[in-house]
Amino acid sequence: MLAYTFRRLLITIPTLLVVIGVVYILLFSAPGGPFDSERVVPEAIQAQLMSKYHLDQPYWKQYLLYIWQLLQGDLGVSYRYADWSVNELVGSALPVSLAIGGLAIALSLVIGVLLGALAALYRNSFVDYFVMALGSLGSVVPSFVLGPLLVLAFAIGLQWLPSGGWDHFSWKFMVLPVSLLTLINVSTLARIMRASMVEVMNSNYIRTARAKGLPMHLIVFRHALRPSLLPVVTIVGPLAVSSITSALVTESIFSIPGLGILVVNGAANRDYTLVLGLVVLITTMVVLVNLCVDLMYAFLDPRSRA
């Protein structure tokens, strides 16, 4: 298992090199550059800016230079946020996104699995209809509608919570965004859990267990729950990464200084180094999360351990 984990971690390096290369090509082929603005910058100044950021070098050299910087842990300076380095920007946005996205994904996992399991066990009952209705609602109503509704109800109507903003991880500012992300994720997870559990409950070995006269709670907890979780685990990896790194709608509705807004502003302003830095971060996260998912598989499904 250790050797496998180590091998998987090593694969991260070529993956990163390729991803950075592809993003480099995409960024440089997009029309418009970081220093294009309403005003045409005089040539002497443009040349100065290009050389300051090494943008006057051949592309391959810039790529190698970037990799060299990256090896030293330096993600470069941002063009859009000129007073800050990419390390500083990511360093201040990542904890915010981790807090919001991480809390939301943990909550949705617990609530989603619970609701999905209940719906499957009480199929075609009121509980099932309720969970499915909730699931459909979360899937069809987009977050840019749900979010403002939450704000209207809890911030402007009842005035219990702030409508947005951020203040040193104060819980008050986290309740609404975490709720919104949780609501959306729960709807996906509950539906998947329900479908998977229904299938497991209909399988032969559960039927055997029932025929043996095992009590229901034992059947569910000992035999049905673990295999039912497999598809949930598959989906929770990418869901977690997207909740943390690209919760842009949630971030803008609640005006949260997270990673999503950096990604969008970076791309729109052709802030090459910021976009690359975020790509490195997101790629690393995806690789690590996928590794965790695979390890969870081994734990949940004895067949995959072989």
284: its two tokens: 């690393």
Question: DSSP readout, 226-239?
Answer: HHHHHHHHHHHHHH
Query: Does residue 270 touch other proteins according to CB under 8 A?
Result: yes
Max distance between CA atoms of the chain, in angstroms, equals 85
Query: Does residue 305 touch other proteins according to CB under 8 A?
Result: no
Residue among 43 and 71 whose Cβ is closer to other proteins:
43
| Region of 10-18, 44-52, 240-248, 275-283 interacting with other proteins (CB under 8 A) | 44-52
CB-based contact 30:270 (threshold 8 Å) = yes
Q: CB-based burial of residue 192 (10 Å sphere; 0-12 exposed, 13-18 middle, 19+ buried)? A: buried
Letters for 86-105 (x = contact with other proteins by CB under 8 A, - = none) are ---x--xx------------
303: its two tokens: 């067949």
* Smallest separation, CB 253 to other proteins (Å): 6
Query: Does residue 261 touch other proteins according to CB under 8 A?
Result: yes
Residue among 86 and 282 whose Cβ is closer to other proteins:
86
How big is the chain, counted in residues? 306
User: For 161, left (φ over 0), alpha (ψ -120 to 50), or beta?
Assistant: beta
Q: What is the rounded distance in angstroms from the CA atom of residue 122 to the CA atom of residue 112?
A: 15
Q: What is the rounded distance in angstroms from the CA atom of residue 222 to the CA atom of residue 63?
A: 53
Residue among 107 and 249 whose Cβ is closer to other proteins:
249
* Smallest separation, CB 231 to other proteins (Å): 36
* Smallest separation, CB 138 to other proteins (Å): 22
Contacts of 289 (CB under 8 A, 6+ apart): 237, 238, 240, 241
Strands (E), 165-290: none
Number of residues in contact with other proteins, rule: CB under 8 A? 52
Residues numbered 49-88 forming contacts with other proteins, rule: CB under 8 A: 49, 52, 77, 80-84
Residues numbered 228-257 forming contacts with other proteins, rule: CB under 8 A: 252-257
User: For 73, left (φ over 0), alpha (ψ -120 to 50), or beta?
Assistant: left
| Region of 30-38, 103-111, 187-195, 225-233 interacting with other proteins (CB under 8 A) | 30-38
* Smallest separation, CB 168 to other proteins (Å): 9
CA dihedral sign, ordered 169, 175, 181, 185: positive
3-state secondary structure of 306: coil
Residue among 31 and 58 whose Cβ is closer to other proteins:
31
Residues numbered 117-176 forming contacts with other proteins, rule: CB under 8 A: 148, 151-152, 155-156, 159, 162-166
Which positions lie near other proteins, rule CB under 8 A?
A: 30-33, 35-45, 47-49, 52, 77, 80-84, 89, 92-93, 148, 151-152, 155-156, 159, 162-166, 252-258, 261-262, 265, 268-270
